[in-house]
Amino acid sequence: MRDKTTYKKIVAARIRELYSELFTINVEIYKDNEANIKGAISRVTGGDEDSVKRVYSTFKALCNIADFSQSSIESTPAEMPVQEQVVTSPQVTVAPSPKSTEFHYNIQIHLPATTDISVYNAIFKSLKDNLML
């Protein structure tokens, strides 16, 4: 924040990092309307209305400081504080065997915010009954 020429872009990069789940839902969520942002926050956090309002207020306050106009969202090493060191490791890629094909399914369940344990029991019982082979 000391460098007045780059701090807004650095703040934008850190917002994208900190709120990465929101940016997964919408890459330009900082431009979206209040209802859509609060809906995304609610889905990600599962929090109650007051929690969602607090997260939304913080998110919008940070977005008002940030400059998202930069095409590259990563900060360069010159923009990083002196204490941080970037360590990169070589990437090794293994070509998949042409004879094997694997399918993976990731299922996300957004549980409602409730103190009634029977709601959770019913959800997981239904999952067990319908998804287990």
Domain spans of the chain, in order of start: 7-77
Please state, in angstroms and rounded to a whole number, the distance separating the CA atoms of residues 32 and 38: 10
Q: Do residues 52 and 41 lie in contact, with contact meaning Cβ atoms separated by under 8 Å?
A: yes
Which one, of 83, 68, 86, lies nearest residue 11 by Cα?
68
Evaluate if pTM is beyond 0.85.
no
Rounded-to-integer distance, Cα 62 and Cα 22, Å: 14
The residue type at 48: D
Closest CA to 6 of 57, 78, 111: 78
> How much is the pLDDT for 15?
92
pLDDT per residue as tens, the chain (133 positions): 677 888 889 889 999 999 989 888 888 889 989 999 999 898 888 888 898 999 999 999 999 988 888 644 444 444 444 444 455 555 555 555 556 667 777 777 778 888 888 888 888 888 888 876 5
